[in-house]
Structure 1
């Protein structure tokens, strides 16, 4: 199967390539054309997923298609952007129709959930890897960034933490369990739901935000550095799902929440006066700490004594916790 036949058969004709709001021209020309309303800015993010690094070599292609787009669209949520379009650069060791069909169906399922359209990309032969670039729109001056957290703000997260990391032993075959709790964690790993509506609702409310991909402590470090403040995380306030707590000892579950990554929840700083309105619409939002003058991220026990974190989070180049 040639490159252009592959594109036509599995992607150009897919439901997620049908166009939509903000897409003036999609797949089929040298470039796509995106149309932004007046007074809005374009948010862009690129993610690469590599077999054997970000997912197992033999990952189910449907699940992989879902996950690949979800982790990219989560960056739009972190900026408070509304999804518009995405591109896909797909490197394949071979063009297997059954694999491509499953991958395209998973991709389109997540695209439908996120309200985002496929507008182009590339295919080439080589070790399996996926590069997705997502495009969103946000009113000028209202994008959420990592800078802006202020002493006195609350540190919040958009829901339970640690589920993606807790699923990893199941994904890698290191643990066998077919119960409902295991299924829940696997769903959180393979089909994380980007918190797009929450991100858009935080415009003009949150002072800083990002999505948790490499671990809570590591990612909060980005806010602390960009904002020039200290973030205090209260270990006893970490929201853990019942499934994670039932499947694993409490110490392991907490480590997953602090440093495991793959959560794709939003972490954000919020003036206390905004909390009630946010929680009224999103009751799963949890306060896990506060912002103070200083620098860095500090983990505290119930008495306010600083704890040594188990690790900071995942890094591609460098040891854990560097």
Structure 2
């Protein structure tokens, strides 16, 4: 495809200028309206290849957001409108704030609730700051939708860690990747225990597997005499260094330090880790391991007094 750059530059007012906005405008013209409309629709379909189409929209986030908004605004199909708004969670930038009041005012409760996930994801990515959303959410404190109201109250009064829902979702996704990576190596192992260590002060999340081939009695695996019990496991303290989990660990450490390393923040992260492990994706990949009948999952706070509480069982 040949592009007449001189003509295109003249058309968008970029003869002697450059910038992200102008570049995106040029891409939109080159690819055409139909390209983005089709990419948005295909991403919503979840048919084979939808990950690729959504990935392209993520790279071109402002343009993907614009075309999702067009579907929300103009479609008469409720499911299409819902799907487009949900997709905006992944293909938007800070300009999404301009659309939030419309979503809040929409009569459909699912579209109203979508703002919780959208704003949470934008906060997690750092596309927006907490102070950017306060004026919008102050007006939503009395919103008739219970989930919207709870999110608004928590954000306005500082009762939540901004981006925690996205932390859980991204952690679950990253854990699936890590467990999939280790699965083949442990093909002939019988797994009796899986431990997830959450160490926000170090920005670390570590995996440990207890197998049937240990040099100690399995009944002693969680002994109070062994303070760092997973260090005695043959497959303990495994490295987690995939690109997905690295971003999750970095964000966790940053938020923990911002809290002044509070115990309340630590509790939130331990519970969030438990929620991520209980997700369908993580539970599903764990079932592909050779698990013993007494298999158990543990998530402990090693700085607490014994006996340790297992956050996975709470």
Q: Calculate the TM-score normalised by the size of structure 2.
A: 0.27
Q: Which has the higher strand share?
A: 1
- Bigger CA radius of gyration: 2
TM-score (structure 1 length as normaliser): 0.27
Tell me which protein shows more helix as a share of its residues: 2
Relative contact order, higher structure (CA 8 A, sep 6+): 1
